[in-house]
Amino acid sequence: NAGVTQTPKFQVLKTGQSMTLQCAQDMNHNSMYWYRQDPGMGLRLIYYSASEGTTDKGEVPNGYNVSRLNKREFSLRLESAAPSQTSVYFCASSENTDTQYFGPGTRLTVL
Amino acid sequence: DQQVKQNSPSLSVQEGRISILNCDYTNSMFDYFLWYKKYPAEGPTFLISISSIKDKNEDGRFTVFLNKSAKHLSLHIVPSQPGDSAVYFCAASGLGGGSNYKLTFGKGTLLTVNP
């Protein structure tokens, strides 16, 4: 039982490049979330998916798109990366409770 | 507009003593509160939570207190251990009972427990 897994662990992009961050959970949770963590800013919600087939914007959605591929997988895409998107990205999932379970994170640097 | 505030960026305590981490919130619709612990290069892990119908929840060395009238909660760790050194995030939710649960996080407090 791996919980929430994220790939890649690290990524360096040049400004304007695109990439997709992958997230999968094996806990059969309905809800999944993408956060970013910046120094001194805590965790900020980018997008979430309450259930398979639905997605909604969070606090900081600009510059990102998401896909809830199936119940297990929730991906985050940066179409044209910018230096302001340098951050650590966390995926989380939850099942009908407020408690969310987090993945290990992806550290992204945009040059 | 910060709805969940952790006003102490850092806290240092001696091993064996009590650690008290504080959190304030402004949104009166929040009805569920959580504490997460985060080690460097790892994801946050759930520590303890409390519903607004309670004023205290205890789990081993960790106790969370909620003062609804003051919109304030605190996490007590007794006794503190060096392994407790981490960043602690306070989080709040106002959707209890709904189909999706969004958490609003504070900025975190770095706790250092000195041997």
Dump pLDDT digits (tens) for A27-48: 999 999 999 999 888 899 999 9
Q: Looking at the complex, does the CB of residue A25 fall below 8 Å from at least one CB of chain B?
A: no
Query: How far is Cα B39 from Cα A109, in angstroms, rounded to an integer?
Result: 20
- Residue-wise pLDDT for B37-75, tens only, equals 999 999 999 999 999 999 999 999 999 999 999 999 999
Distance of alpha carbon B41 from alpha carbon A95, whole angstroms: 25
- For A69, residues 6+ apart whose C-beta sits below 8 A from its C-beta are A75
When pLDDT is cut at 50, 70 and 90, the band that residue A107 belongs to is: very high
> CB–CB of B61/B47 below 8 Å?
no
The mean per-residue pLDDT over the stretch B87-97 comes to 81
Contacts of B105 in chain A (CB under 8 A): 42-44
Contact B45 A102 (CB under 8 A): yes
Q: Compute the mean pLDDT over every residue in chain B, rounded to the nearest whole number.
A: 92
For A32, which residue in chain B has the nearest alpha carbon? B100
pLDDT given for residue B28 in this prediction: 87
pLDDT band at residue A17, thresholds of 50, 70 and 90?
very high
Contact A43 B102 (CB under 8 A): no
